[in-house]
Amino acid sequence: MRKKNGLLFSIILPVYKQESHIVPLLQEFIKGLQKITKQYELLVIINGPASNEYKRLVEFAKPRDFIRAFYLDRAGWGRAVKFGISKAKGRYICYTNSARTNVADLLQMLSYSKNNKDVVVKATRIIRESWMRKFGSILYNLENRFLLKTPVWDVNGTPKVFPKNLLKKITLDSENDLIDAELMVKCFRNHIPILEVPVLFTKRKGGKSTTNLLSAFRMYLGLLELKKRL
């Protein structure tokens, strides 16, 4: 058994329609994390249609006290991240796109965070799958800079890691894809340093991307709503 009060990292993994590959993915994460620490927990948050994912995760987690599986019946990237944060017990909180995170990149982000206290560490992807996705990302980041004055690239890039005590200074309200933009702008407004670490863009591990033209358009409009809300 791991000492819960001694946890260093809480790693939040939102899961959406990943039944075919979620267990092998977790095995890959565990193998990598064992190289740097034993004091971590994996919070796997299924948000949306579950199928057999939750049952498989519960069975996989039974002999592993460092894995906790949760099910939310409503989908939402921000909703899953916020729920994971509310359950996190580690001194550092990390959340990341479980289907697109390279384990080596995750380990690098965690190490940077541990050695740079009171700093938010985030990935900045330097290669994207297609010119259309790259163009869409550039447009979204330019909109962030113009509306919210956040001088970072790849606002949505994950993994993101930050000390848990940072949450004493800011609260996150977004329950959708805007949670990343909200975190970035609130960090800057509260003079919280952000360390951007370049990583190679990782192709999705199984399944299909949930980002399409409609969801991208909603994100562009959402930034206007976020600006008004702030």
CATH of 4-229, one of 3.90.550.10, 3.10.20.30, 3.30.420.40, 3.50.50.60: 3.90.550.10
| DSSP string computed for 34-64 | TTT-S-EEEEEEEES--TTHHHHHHHHHTT-
> Structure pTM?
0.92
pLDDT digits (tens, 9 = 90+) for 124-133: 988 766 778 8
Model pLDDT, residue 16: 84
Domain ranges within the chain, ordered by starting residue: 4-229
Mean pLDDT calculated for residue range 100-127:
93
Tens digits of per-residue pLDDT, 160-194?
Answer: 999 999 999 999 999 999 999 999 999 999 999 99
Mean pLDDT of the chain: 90
Q: CB-based contacts of 20: which residues, under 8 Å, 6+ apart?
A: 206, 207
| Contacts of 139 by beta carbon, 8 Å cutoff, 6+ apart | 220
The percent of residues above 70 in pLDDT, for the chain, comes to 90
Q: Write down the H helix ranges in 116-178.
A: 131-148
